[in-house]
Amino acid sequence: MRPLSQDPKLTAMIDGKTQIYGILGRPVAHSLSPAMHNAAFRALKFNAVYVAFPVDELDKAVAGIRGLGIRGGSITIPFKEEIIPLLDELDPQAARVGAVNTVVNRDSRLIGYNTDWLGARTALQQKTEIADRHFLIMGAGGASRAIVFALREERGEVTVTDLDQPRALTLARDFGVEAIPLKALRECPAQILINATPVGMAPAVEDTPVPLDLVERFSLVMDIVYRPLHTRLLKEAKARGCQTIDGLQMLIHQATAQFELFTGLAAPAEIMAQAAYEAVRGEA
């Protein structure tokens, strides 16, 4: 991919009035958010640019948003919970989720939002009813919190598990759901599996979050990992006759909601989706 500074489609519109947006995380080089948001800016002729900011010290990065007048940011692993005390205000839904994936800078006042839950809900509703279905969530981090919130809002039944059992228990307590240890997976009667961990992400593409002999018991398997797009978990699920949802679905839907918070404009959803899928075309 051509470096941002050499992309004529972007440099042609960068000037002294260009608004800056970005994604804060570690790592972020793999992120598709720049591809999606910059495609949307170009389509709407909106004078802005979106870049990736690899962050080691979150407090300094947040101070940089204020000091440089960066208009907004996406927040990703591992900062979705850590950023909360550094913000001036939380949207009520983000407060209920307990994680932030979107920050909007309004006159140096930083407001935290969560659009992950909207992305998860939309992705799932395109494949299944949520009410009265039983979901097993692998992982108890910021993305998991958003997914559990979405499922509970739609009256889904939820079980969570994580290598960090105390963290899973905290999430379960916060949302009134069940937490189980990994060793109890075989006893869980859930119908739908969601991987909300980094397990299976490149370069460890042969890893799966659950033993493969358990996969066929689920009618639907969703993986939020999108590099590779077709994770081993999804390949094994499809081979066993399960419906699947790839990681770009949640990502795209959360990004369109995020774009609207950033700009106040209706997101060009099809263009953002096309940019995301083009960016991973040809990857395993």
Query: What is the rounded distance in angstroms from the CA atom of residue 22 to the CA atom of residue 52?
Result: 5
Strand ranges across the sheet with 89-90: 48-54, 19-25, 72-75, 102-106, 109-113, 89-90
Cβ atoms of residues 33 and 262 within 8 Å: no
Query: What is the rounded distance in angstroms from the CA atom of residue 33 to the CA atom of residue 156?
Result: 29
Query: What is the rounded distance in angstroms from the CA atom of residue 260 to the CA atom of residue 247?
Result: 21
- Which among 237, 166, 226 is positioned nearest to 196, based on CA atoms? 226
Q: Calculate the alpha carbon distances from 182 to 41, 82, 159, 165 in Å.
A: 43, 25, 11, 9
Q: Which of 45, 60, 80, 183 is catalytic?
A: 80
Question: Residue 251 is which amino acid?
Answer: L
- Torsional sign, CA 204, 209, 212, 215: negative
User: Catalytic annotation on 9?
Assistant: no
Structural element, H or E, at residue 73: strand 72-75
The catalytic residue positions are: 80
